[in-house]
Structure 1
Amino acid sequence: MGFCGGTGSGFVRLEAALQILRLGPGRNFPKRTQDDVKIGCCDDSVIAADDHRIAVFNGRLDYVDSLRSALGESARAVTNPAQIMLAAHAKWGIDFCEHLIGDYSCALWDGREKRMILAVDPFALRPLYYWQDGDRLLFATEMRALLSDPAIPRVLDQKMMADILAVQPCDPMRTMYQGICRIPGGHSVIWEKGRIRSERWWRPEQLATLRFRSDRDYEEALREAFEAAVACRIGTSEPIGTHLSGGLDSSSVTALAARQLAAQGRELTAYTATPRHDFTLPQQQFGDEWGHAALVAERYPNIRHHRIDNDAVTYLEALQAREMAHEWPMIGSVNLRWGDAIERDARDRGIKILLFGQIGNMTVSYDGVELFADQLRSGRWGQAFLTARRSVRSGAARWPAVANETARLMLPRHIHRRLLAIAGKREMGLRDYSLINSDFAEEAGIAEAANATGGNMRNVPHRDGLAFRLSVLTRMQHNFGDWVAATRRLYNIEIRDPTADRRLAELCFAIPQEQFIKAGVPRSLLRRAMRGILPDTLVDERRRGKQSADWTTSYAAERPELQVEARRLRHSDFARTCLDLDRMEAMLENWKAPAPGIPADPMEAIILMRGLAAGRFIRRFEGGNG
């Protein structure tokens, strides 16, 4: 499913590492050797070499015609992405990644300079990991290949586990294993003569702000870039599916894909997860997204629409099925059941590509609410007041919430918290959203920061709205990249996310924030751009869709099995150290379904599922989940 290689003595058993990575049949793997460097690949990864260089590529290149034009005549007939890498390196040197667009990870050995370059795309949808010890560098697209080498110690990183349990910003280069590093999105790792450095080559914060003449120009630019991003990801003949919720992101991806596939005479299989039990939600949310999704499916006759129950499989069944392919704790596991059920059904139907809209909240459907904070921080008080008034008039905000946000931004933290206490309110602390053992949090040095942030990225200080969006995307990379890789391994399905298209994202980052919250309406730009492509019901919907809205019923049915899982964690020394198992068992014992008409608190499920998933990961590491 990727590639691996190394310098120095390299992998002790390169063939064995490639055998671990492979998905398809066969035992003969393309390999290249130069000097003391050995690189091999499997499945759909490709490799190329010349007299002094080796290039290996895993993933997909987009906008290839424009890249070939930039490379010149010598590259016009080249189709192998690894050969294109060599041509790009010859023209641009170590900066060649800046010119590659797509979902990819890659490695390039330059024998003349004795230099290895490892790199991934800006959103790290094709992960790449490495380990170094002196003149020995090993790298692979999955950690399982690295861990097959006897020289690499198999030791959990306890600080990373603490950050995960406390929902803190993680070091983007760390993994769950000490000594094994990952390459963050939009970065290169360069190894030369035993020395290694990381360079960030993707810098969207340096983009110039776009200034178009009219609102319509912004709408047309977004729609055109979005359509191009979808076109890059639908392939030419492969069976293709999509997640279709009632929200803007997945609905937009689905509608744009359906339009393009219809022109090719192709169908699109769309999946919507729905509740089958009663539930109650706050007024500003809706939990059954089938009606909204069905409106999209009805609009495009080539869509084949399928309903998947939220609890189509049990939580533990889904967790057990997926965890052997994951190299990261399944912390976002409340929606695990229906997510895995969709992919199982897609596999059974022969679907090879599944479209997501996972990154859209920070790109195409960004809500723009940081505009108010940016205006306050920069002293533009009058503009901030106008922004707040428009949000209140549109129904997106209320004046008490505006006052609280102003106090949060402008007052010292301890004063703001004291004012909340006087008003009978409080912000969440670490115990409110995590089952981490308090002693473990203190020893890891994260307790104070975790209590201050309350698990909310908006409580982490950021320079401006763009910095906030980029930090959220960095935080997502660990989980989403691991999910994408695991889905390929489990079901031979490639997940593609048009909202993570680099050109589309850069456009969104360059558009003024005011366009995203025009007239006080969050996500205004995508609403306007998709008017006429999506049904008006979806475009005008202000409520937020709530996934797994009926979790309380299915959770209650599984409680005995979950209690058994919690008791098993007591057999692990590390689980007892990092998790508050007494509290976990008490929550499971005392849990009661809310009274009819009273919304359930989703935080209880989030706390428990995150703790149980982390515990399962620990037990699997220790060999105890068999």
Structure 2
Amino acid sequence: MSALAGIIEFDPRDSIGESELFELARTLDRTGPDGGAQHHEGNVGLVFRAFHTTSEAQREMQPMVCGNRVFTWDGRLDNREEIASRLGLRSDHVPTDLDLVVAAYQKWETRTFAELLGDWALAIWDRTKQELYLAKDCFGVRPLFYIRKSSRLIWSTTLESLATDRSPGLHVDKDHIAGCFFPYPRLGTTSFEEIKGVLPAHFLTVRRGGQCSSTRYWALNPHSRVRYQKDSDYEEHFIELFRNSVRRRLRSNRPILSELSGGLDSTAIVCMADDIRRTVDTPDIETISYFDADEPTGDERPYFTAVEAHRGKVGHHLSVAEFNRQTREQAFSPVPNRYKIASPGYFARSLHWAGIIDGVHQATGSRVTLCGLGGDELLGGVQYEALELLEYLLSPNLPRFAASLWCWSQEKRKPISAIVKSVFTLATARYSLASFLDIQGDIPWVLVRPTRPNPILETFSPWRVLSPTHLFAETIRYTISAQLSCQEPTPVGMSEKRYPFLDRSLYEYVASIPRNQVIRPGQRRRLMRRSLQGLVPDFVLSRTSKWFAHRAPAAQLRDQQKLLKSLFAERWMSHGVLFDTDLIRNRLRHVEHGIVSESRHLITALSIEQWLRRQTSLGVIAWDNRENDISADHDEKAVAAHGLPC
């Protein structure tokens, strides 16, 4: 995952200083250790730092100047052959991904973005139009941030490049902080009010004089439907797309490290990668597995060792329980000042864990990690019955609706009236989208709530014209993208994460087939289990349990009572503004006597307070720590969230 950044002055008569551009480039050196360059012309400067993960990327020279346009690209283009064919490029030349992107843009201009499959972020300076374009892929796998000041805009793929002591006076985005608890921050926001993120499947246009506009270049086709006569046809189509998705993500000039939890998603990826390697020359696949013997369902060894036996290769095993014991005293220690981390959520032990993972990458020679994110959400790991039932109503097929309604009621032990209500909520979701996406809840000591309505949500997709099936799929894409936006790379080690389930072709297919192909009452992950028979070991294919770390957060809070009490030796900067720390202190006392429901949230609050202290001490944040009036209105039930309906 390479890094790019740049500066544009809104007034063409202003110029960018070379020393300033060099200083911006220096902030990318850690994430781009394979060299790079800067391009400087008048009021615009572009920076690139490389992190090579494919053989083609080693031949790229960035920033690339082509006529009156300058390009910087961080990405992996998956439909290379298709793009080359449509452009009429000769077959005896093997272009780089950037070569194809540049050629496509020369022909299609901004229409190009919708044609690019893969994970990518892109910056284009068009000298003729005097316009800058910042764009990213449809799931937002590759980050791209920007900050607008009075006379300029600065962009970067790393948040810490924009949040430094060279740019003091930033403010905390309280709406983003609220999202850390309900349950993910809003897409397009960061922990800093002034710094925004380019939205997935959007491009930002910056024009002369500072005019900026965000344009959606892709969304699901509301009319796409895939219907077959036989279940086996759905299975064959799925396995073809899944195979193609994994194959696309095996393009690497080094061995690949794949996460192997023993669950269905990670196992499917590893087994499919092995199957592809039998017929196609691809890099070696190493695996990394985590287990926690201290958690009731956390010992995954029986599952991932069964997969290792199936593939005839033992991977790297990491004991989370042992790591927790070894780093117990550092559980809530702040990140050392020598490390630059712009987002909350990290402690010193986070860096130790990142160092262990980096050690595995060093041992295997890998720079790419395959991850199973998205499988649960897209392929029926989450039991949401309303979509299947609504499809029966719209068919209409009332006998199937009645039979399925009864089965779902029995399966979920849920009143029929409650299920019918959820069906009605989905049916009217396009007219009350915020209510459909909101998860109601209450954490009394959190004083901030996400504001409503959410303008970013409204522009994310054309909700009003989507069918219920596509609308539901787009809410999943929004939630996954929001989750990805929180995953800032740690300052220890580097790895490019790839997600086979976040493939646009696969996503479009799953969003266009009948819901009862994906899941039915008592048949979670129905399509996956049918399609992967013979490829995935039956022991994993038939498992129903899943590891959730319930005990560890509460145990950490109990073990570190002395440290936690020391954190209250001085008044929290967040007190009365973000949190009621008197209530937090009270909840921490409860932890000493048992598990409280919000242990994870308490740890998040601790990380935010430490982050706030550090950013303020560095002069990055301008913070008014005068205590606000904590009035009764923070106990009201108006709570907003981003996630799937329960």
TM-score by length of 1: 0.81
Asked if 1 retains the 8 angstrom alpha-carbon contact of 2:6 and 2:44, the reply is yes
Matched residue SS, 1:83:
helix
Q: 2:372 aligns with which of 344, 350, 357?
A: 357
**Structure-2 residue corresponding to 1:122:** 138
Contact 1:44 1:58 in 2 (8 A): no
Q: Which amino acid aligns with 1:486?
A: P
Greater alpha carbon shift after TM alignment, 515-524 vs 52-61: 515-524
What CA distance in whole angstroms lies between the structure 2 residues aligned with 1:384 and 1:559? 53
Q: Is the 8 Å Cα contact of residues 370 and 497 (structure 2) preserved in structure 1? A: yes
Match of 1:89 in 2: 105
Residue in structure 2 matched with residue 458 of structure 1 by the alignment: none
- What residue number does 1:529 align with? 531
Matching of residues 262-411 of structure 1 within 5 Å: 264=281, 267-277=284-294, 279=296, 286-310=297-321, 312-313=323-324, 314=327, 316-317=330-331, 320=334, 324=339, 326-330=341-345, 340=354, 343-349=357-363, 350-365=365-380, 367=382, 369-372=385-388, 374-375=390-391, 382-391=399-408, 396-398=411-413, 400-407=414-421, 410=424
Amino acid at match of 2:172: L
CA distance in 2, matches of 1:538, 1:16: 50
CA offset digits 1:17-76 (Å, max 9, x no partner): 110111278897422234532212112383211221111101222231222111212697
Cα distance per residue 1:317-368 (max 9 Å; x no partner): 587559955443329x9x9799747624424524322111112223345556
Distance (whole Å) between structure 2 residues aligned to residue 256 and residue 42 of structure 1: 33
Query: Does residue 1:229 correspond to 2:211, yes or no?
Result: no
The corresponding residue for 1:19 is 26
The residue number in structure 1 matching 2:69 is: 53
Q: Deviations over 1:545-583 (max 9, x none)?
A: 324555544543334334434x26x54433442112112
Aligned length, in residue pairs: 572
Contact 1:246 1:538 in 2 (8 A): yes
Alignment of 1:197-208 (within 5 A): 197-206=213-222, 208=224
- Alpha carbons 2:133, 2:203 under 8 Å: kept: yes
C-alpha contact (below 8 Å) 2:392/2:398 kept by paired residues: yes
CA contact (8 A) 1:147 1:153 kept: no
Give 2:203's aligned amino acid.
S
Structure 1 contact 244–293 (Cα < 8 Å) conserved: yes
CA separation of 1:406 and 1:556: change in aligned 2, threshold 3 A: same
Written as runs of structure 1 = structure 2, the 5 A alignment for 1:149-168 is 150=166, 153-167=169-183
Paired letter, 2:614: R
In the alignment, residue 504 of structure 2 is paired with which amino acid?
Answer: R
Partner of 2:623: none
Q: Displacement of 1:164 after TM fit?
A: 2.9
Do structure 1's residue 257 and structure 2's residue 310 form an aligned pair? no
Would the aligned equivalents of 2:75 and 2:121 in 1 still touch at CA under 8 Å? yes
The Cα of 1:207 is off from its aligned counterpart by: 5.5
Please say if residues 78 and 84 of structure 1, whose CA atoms lie closer than 8 Å, have aligned partners that are also in contact.
no
Q: What residue identity is the alignment partner of 2:402?
A: F
What letter corresponds to residue 66 of structure 1 in structure 2? Answer: E
What secondary structure sits across from 2:412 in the alignment? coil
The runs of 5 or more residues in structure 2 that have no matched partner are 53-61, 427-437, 455-465, 620-646
8 Å contact from structure 1 (residues 2, 41) kept in 2: yes
Distance 1:160 1:17 in 2: 25
Alignment of 1:5-44 (within 5 A): 5-8=6-9, 9=14, 13-23=20-30, 29-34=36-41, 36-44=43-51
Conservation of the 8 A alpha-carbon contact between 2:289 and 2:315: no
Show the counterpart of 2:606. 612
Post-superposition offset of 1:369: 3.1
Aligned match for 2:191, one of 157, 173, 176: 176
Tell me, yes or no, if the aligned pair for 1:288 and 1:549 is still in contact at 8 Å. Answer: no
Q: 1:118 aligns to what SS in structure 2?
A: strand
Percent of matched pairs sharing the same residue: 19
Question: Are the aligned partners of 2:316 and 2:360 in contact in 1 as well (CA < 8 Å)?
Answer: no
Structure 2 distance, partners of 1:169, 1:383, is 39
Partner of 1:202, secondary structure, is: coil
Contact 1:186/1:201 (CA < 8 Å) preserved in 2?
A: yes
Deviations 1:162-181 (A, max 9, x none): 333343762x2222222222
Aligned pair partner of 2:152 in 129, 132, 136 = 136
Counterparts of residues 434-449 of structure 1 (less than 5 Å): 435-437=445-447, 440-441=448-449
SS at 1:608's partner residue?
helix
Q: How far is 1:494 from its partner?
A: 1.6
Is the CA contact 1:116–1:192 (under 8 Å) kept in the aligned structure 2?
A: yes
The one-letter amino acid paired with 2:24 is: A
More off after superposition, 369-378 vs 221-230 = 369-378
State the Cα distance separating 1:255 from its structure 2 match: 1.7
Aligned-partner Cα distance in 2 for 1:119–1:523: 33
Relative to structure 1, the CA distance from residue 152 to residue 76 in structure 2 (aligned partners, 3 Å threshold; closer, same or farther) is: farther
Q: Give the aligned residue type for 2:288.
A: Y
How far is the alpha carbon of 1:133 from its aligned partner?
A: 4.3
CA distance in structure 2 between the aligned counterparts of 1:168 and 1:201, rounded to whole angstroms: 24
Deviating more after overlay: 159-168 vs 375-384: 375-384
In structure 1, distance between residues paired with 2:319 and 2:355? 7
- What does residue 419 of structure 1 align with? none
Displacement of 1:377 in angstroms is 7.9
2:207 maps to amino acid = E
Q: Label 1:330 to 1:117 Cα distance change in 2 as closer, same or farther (>3 A).
A: same
Deviations 1:297-323 (A, max 9, x none): 111013424242245144755875599
Of 55, 58, 80, the match for 1:64: 80
Q: 1:402 & 1:341 partners in 2: Cα distance?
A: 50
Structure showing the higher helix proportion among its residues: 1
The one-character-per-residue Cα deviations of 1:483-515 (angstroms, maximum 9, x if unpaired) are 2x515x421222111111222222222222121
Distance 1:125-1:445 versus aligned 2 partners, 3 A rule: closer
Ranges in structure 1 where 5+ consecutive residues have no aligned partner: 280-285, 413-426, 450-461, 595-599
Retained in 2: the 8 A contact 1:241–1:268? Answer: yes
Distance in 2 between residues matched to 1:342 and 1:238, nearest whole Å: 19
Name the amino acid aligned to 1:64. Answer: R
Give the CA RMSD over aligned residues: 3.7
Equivalent of residue 513 in structure 1, options 503, 512, 515: 515
Residue of structure 1 in register with 2:5 after alignment: 4
* Inter-CA distance 104–54: structure 2 relative to 1 (3 Å threshold): same
Q: Does 1:486 align with 2:489?
A: yes
Measured in 2, the distance between the counterparts of 1:557 and 1:107 equals 48
Structure 1 counterpart of 2:581, which letter? Answer: L
Deviations 1:583-625 (A, max 9, x none): 222222222465xxxxx66x33222122222223222322389
Q: CA deviation at 1:241?
A: 1.8
Distance in 2 of aligned mates of 1:189 and 1:256: 37
Which segment drifts farther, 129-138 or 524-533? 129-138
CA shift, 1:482, in A, is: 4.3
Shift of 1:227: 1.6
Q: In structure 2, what residue type is equivalent to 1:356? A: C
